[in-house]
Amino acid sequence: MLDEIHPKVLPDSKLGDAVSYTLNQWEYLTR
């Protein structure tokens, strides 16, 4: 789901920051 949303949100928005952060931390979140 996040992979679908990521290209559609503005990168400088709060949502864009949250999606980018979550995708970057995904490996650690799913351990």
Per-residue CA distances from 17 to 11, 28, 31 (Å) = 6, 17, 22
Predicted TM-score (pTM) of the model is 0.76
Q: Write the pLDDT tens digit of every residue in 19-31.
A: 999 999 999 999 9
Average pLDDT of the chain is 94
Quote the CA–CA distance of 19 and 4 in Å, as a whole number: 10
